[in-house]
């Protein structure tokens, strides 16, 4: 199946294969930051993105879009007038995303710097944040910085934060540490799945009620 991306590079079977190989190369170069050997499946992307329910002018942030499996679903379902910013640390992924999704904006840098990024771009606080960051392999200082930014963005709003964690890594210390951190800072939590049509299978986590 070929999907066009608003005058961007088409996404077809061949580019998915290229994405898979490029993603694996990035994993070998930086396993902790990439945190997976393959991009997410469309099934996990749909489970994570779900219904966006954004109003015109509201902002959706995506952390760690990688090669863009979530971005593709987001672009297809983003309501008219809603805004999008992807924050990606890897320059190769950032270049690919910019080429493939020219109608969307991407920032090259760390999600931990979200407050500065929003201020410098003159953007409002987001209504929703979806994340592909590999919290189970991120060091504590990065987890803390990203979590503080998420809480800063969503405190006092009805917005939510969504992420996924692989089933095989769910019990790892770093994955548990991140969930404990989020449990302290959010009133609401739900876990969906596992989504088994993904390599590897993953749970979707949703947090709301930032305090």
Site for ligand SAM, rule CB under 6 A: 33-36, 39-40, 63-66, 69-70, 87-90, 93, 110-112, 132-134, 142
166 three-state secondary structure: strand
Report the residue number, 114 or 210, with the smaller CB distance to ligand SAM: 114
- φ, ψ dihedrals at 25, nearest 5°: -60, -45
- The continuous run of DSSP H or E covering 34 comes out as helix 31-34
Report the residue number, 125 or 162, with the smaller CB distance to ligand SAM: 162
- φ, ψ dihedrals at 148, nearest 5°: -60, -40
Report the residue number, 112 or 175, with the smaller CB distance to ligand SAM: 112
What is the nearest approach in angstroms of ligand SAM to the Cβ of residue 56? 26
What is the nearest approach in angstroms of ligand SAM to the Cβ of residue 156? 24
- Please state, in angstroms and rounded to a whole number, the distance separating the CA atoms of residues 22 and 29: 11
Report the residue number, 81 or 84, with the smaller CB distance to ligand SAM: 84
What is the nearest approach in angstroms of ligand SAM to the Cβ of residue 68? 7
- Please state, in angstroms and rounded to a whole number, the distance separating the CA atoms of residues 109 and 174: 22
Report the residue number, 49 or 82, with the smaller CB distance to ligand SAM: 49
What is the nearest approach in angstroms of ligand SAM to the Cβ of residue 187? 25
Helices 140-154 and 173-185: crossing angle in degrees, nearest 10, is 30
What is the nearest approach in angstroms of ligand SAM to the Cβ of residue 122? 20
Radius of gyration of the chain (CA): 16
């Amino acid at each position: 199946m070929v999907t066009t991306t608003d005058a961007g590079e088409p996404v077809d079977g061949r580019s998915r294969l290229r994405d898979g190989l490029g993603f694996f190369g990035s994993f070998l170069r930086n396993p902790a930051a990439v945190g997976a050997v393959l991009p997410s499946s469309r099934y996990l992307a749909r489970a994570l993105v779900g219904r966006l329910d954004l109003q015109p002018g509201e902002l959706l942030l995506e952390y760690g879009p990688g090669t863009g499996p979530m971005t593709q679903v987001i672009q297809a379902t983003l309501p008219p007038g809603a805004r999008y910013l992807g924050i990606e640390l890897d320059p190769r992924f950032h270049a690919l995303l910019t080429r493939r999704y020219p109608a969307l904006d991407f920032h090259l840098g760390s999600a931990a710097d979200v407050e500065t990024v929003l201020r410098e771009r003159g953007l409002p606080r987001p209504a929703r944040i979806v994340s592909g960051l590999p919290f189970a392999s991120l060091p504590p200082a990065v987890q803390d910085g990203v979590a503080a930014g998420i809480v800063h963005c969503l405190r006092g709003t009805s917005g939510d934060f969504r992420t996924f964690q692989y089933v095989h890594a769910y019990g790892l210390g770093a994955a548990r540490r991140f969930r404990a951190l989020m449990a302290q800072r959010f009133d609401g939590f739900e876990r969906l799945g596992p989504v088994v049509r993904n390599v590897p299978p993953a749970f979707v986590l949703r947090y709301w009620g930032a305090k």
